[in-house]
A and B are shown apart, each in its own frame.
Chain A
Amino acid sequence: MMEDQEEKGNAENGIGRQKQVKDEYLLQFLDSLDGYLTLLDSLSSTLSQGWLELASARHAMGASRINGALLDLKVHAAATSLKVSEQDVDSMESQPCFTLCKWASSDNGERSSGEEKSLSPQLRHRNNSQLSEEKVSTRTGTPLILVDQQRQKSLSVFGVLVSPKLRSAQLSFERALETLVEIANLHTTMLSMFEQVHKELENTNG
């Protein structure tokens, strides 16, 4: 009798824990979905602002100073790169993790540190950027001056003396790029959570 009661108690505890785990996955999925939708909205608003600021800069500086025909077609390193790494989740599966490395181009072999937007272990490079793995680990003490110089260099296709409106447009598109990477990471998390919830439901029904 005592043993029966103990077994019944254990079974009830097990069911309770399973329910807790299911609820946790469900909550995480809903949280990630909410974050995803919020970020999509934020991206849309940031891009709208960027495009309007670009139009405002064209209005101020003139169409001959800001147009697509001035963009540089010479081969040059990317100023910003995207790195993809594999991140272990619960030691069971890995999911891709996206990291933006902003303003990390180098010219003539001269290396400059860049900003990174998320922690990553050893990285697999996906583009022709000249970043090395040792530079990636340098996250602290990135001089803002270097970042500003890279920003100015990027805008210099339109001239050295550009309107503050063009600089604002640049910052808006920079923010949009960061948001895009966050969206990609959150999308991965969301899909992973969805898989977990789906599995739990199947286990329950099975």
Chain B
Amino acid sequence: MTFNIHGGYLEAIVRGYRAGLLTAADYNNLCQCETLDDIKMHLSATEYGPYLQNEPSPLHTTTIVEKCTLKLVDEYKHMLCQATEPLSTFLEYITYGHMIDNVVLIVTGTLHERDVQELLEKCHPLGMFDSIATLAVAQNMRELYRLVLVDTPLAPYFSECITSEDLDDMNIEIMRNTLYKAYLEDFYKFCQKLGGATAEIMSDLLAFEADRRAVNITINSIGTELTRDDRRKLYSNFGLLYPYGHEELAVCEDIDQVRGVMEKYPPYQSIFSKLSYGESQMLDKAFYEEEVKRLCLAFEQQFHYGVFFAYMRLREQEIRNLMWISECVAQNQKSRVHDSVVFIF
């Protein structure tokens, strides 16, 4: 009843933004482009036009992705500066995943003796914070926390991974996934506290995210040094697969065993039925398609914060689509363009 007092304006804004998402017709035009300049020309007729118009030829795929991301960042900042509590906190939560990715990027790059400025240019703009460059000074996770992260929103997520061990590739990977797990669980609890339609819709979306992460961690860790116990510790403590699905996924040694576990859960049967046995190439696309379906459904209901989360994720999917189409055009592989494009409407 009282949602519109504080959230009505921004809900209207985000629904307006949603109307600007690319349609199937736009994608059909883009998929027929011969060069990246053609893509720029087609995008000039969309909301991305002002962001790409001043880019000189020859274009690069990373330029297209960068400029399209800038549009998302501008829209997000507009919403954030207009938001009041608790919506402002909700909107900030959406960016913590990017913050974690940026932290790991800086730490990994520093371990590989890369220049900090070069690394900062590769960071996602939604995940930037003031002291991010200081991350390059830390030698282990304790220092990472003490010097930099204690004053950031990621501080509470560090309690499970503070050690004095030097940072190496395995520790960094475990840190990344442990942080993300803690973030998802915290976001989930926050949404539950908000209650109402927000809790209902966000529970479903975050549970799907947790389950997808569990599957990806399992598949990506097959054949690596990550032990079963360590793998199990990286799964989130919520979601449809928690806890029995996680127990079974932890011991999987190949994609067919993962399929066997997931097909016991009806919502994931349709995803895995699209794959042939032993194949995992199309799994990402299948998960993205399911995610887009759920995100679009979030807009069917009013007066909840799930629309903001859904919009941000749909825009990110759109940027992924544009990235893929650009790569296929640049590499002269247009026959493969539909391998990874997920239509939103």
Chain A bound to chain B: yes
| Pair A160/B320 contact, Cβ less than 8 Å | no
Closest-CB distance, A2 to chain B (whole angstroms)? 73
Q: Are A48 and B333 in contact (CB under 8 A)?
A: yes
Q: Which B-chain residue is minimally distant from A67 (CB atoms)?
A: B122
Our pick among A56, A59, A63, A160 for the contact of B62 (Cβ within 8 Å) is A63
- For A60, the closest partner residue in chain B by CB is B284
In the assembled complex, the CB of B320 is this many whole angstroms from the nearest CB of chain A, namely: 6
Q: Report the separation of the CA atoms of residues A24 and B221 in the bound assembly, to the nearest whole angstrom.
A: 54
Alpha-carbon distance A39/B101, docked complex (angstroms): 41
Q: Is A163's CB under 8 angstroms from B220's CB? A: yes
B169 contact from A48, A71, A159, A163, Cβ within 8 A: A159
Does B113 lie within 8 Å of A64, measured CB to CB?
Answer: no
Residues of B within 8 A of A119 (CB): none
B236 within 8 A of A: no
The answer, among B104, B109, B324, for a CB contact under 8 Å with A55, is: B324
A160 and B169 contact, CB distance less than 8 A: yes
Cα–Cα distance between A115 and B158 once the two chains are bound (Å): 43
Whether B339 is near chain A, meaning CB under 8 Å from some CB there, is yes
- State whether A55 and B112 are in contact (beta carbons under 8 Å apart), knowing that A69-B118, A69-B122 are contacts in the complex: no
Which residues 67-99 of A sit at the B interface, judged by CB distance below 8 A? 67, 69-74
Q: How far is the CA of A108 from the CA of B83 in the complex (A)?
A: 55
Check B122–A64 contact: CB distance below 8 A.
yes
Task: State A137–B114 Cα separation when bound (angstroms).
Answer: 37
Q: How many residues of B contact A (CB 8 A)?
A: 46
- Residues from chain A with a CB closer than 8 A to the CB of B224 are 152, 160-161
Bound CA span A71–B118, Å: 12
Q: B58: CB under 8 A from chain A? A: no
- Shortest beta-carbon distance from B230 to chain A in Å: 10
At the interface with chain A, which of B84-92, B172-180, B190-198, B261-269?
B172-180
User: In angstroms, how far is the closest chain A Cβ from the Cβ of B269?
Assistant: 22
Question: What string of 1s and 0s marks CB contacts (under 8 Å) between B306-338 and chain A?
Answer: 000000000000001001100110011100100
Whether a CB of chain B sits under 8 angstroms from the CB of A16 is no
29 A–B contacts from the bound complex (CB under 8 Å)? A48-B332, A48-B333, A52-B328, A52-B333, A55-B327, A55-B328, A56-B281, A59-B284, A63-B62, A63-B65, A63-B323, A69-B109, A69-B121, A71-B112, A71-B114, A72-B112, A73-B112, A148-B223, A157-B169, A159-B172, A160-B173, A160-B221, A160-B224, A161-B217, A162-B220, A163-B220, A164-B219, A164-B281, A168-B281
- Chain B residues with CB under 8 Å of chain A are 62, 65, 101-102, 104-105, 108-109, 112-114, 118-119, 121-124, 169-170, 172-173, 176-177, 216-217, 219-221, 223-226, 280-281, 284, 320, 323-324, 327-328, 331-333, 336, 339-340
A residues within 8 Å of B by Cβ? Answer: 48, 51-52, 55-56, 58-60, 62-65, 67, 69-74, 148, 152, 156-157, 159-165, 168
For the complex of A and B, 7 pairs with smallest distance between CB atoms: A161-B220, A160-B173, A55-B327, A72-B112, A156-B169, A73-B113, A60-B284
14 new A-B contacts at CB < 8 Å, known A48-B332, A63-B62, A163-B220 = A52-B336, A55-B328, A58-B327, A59-B320, A63-B122, A64-B122, A64-B124, A69-B118, A69-B121, A70-B105, A156-B169, A159-B108, A161-B224, A163-B284
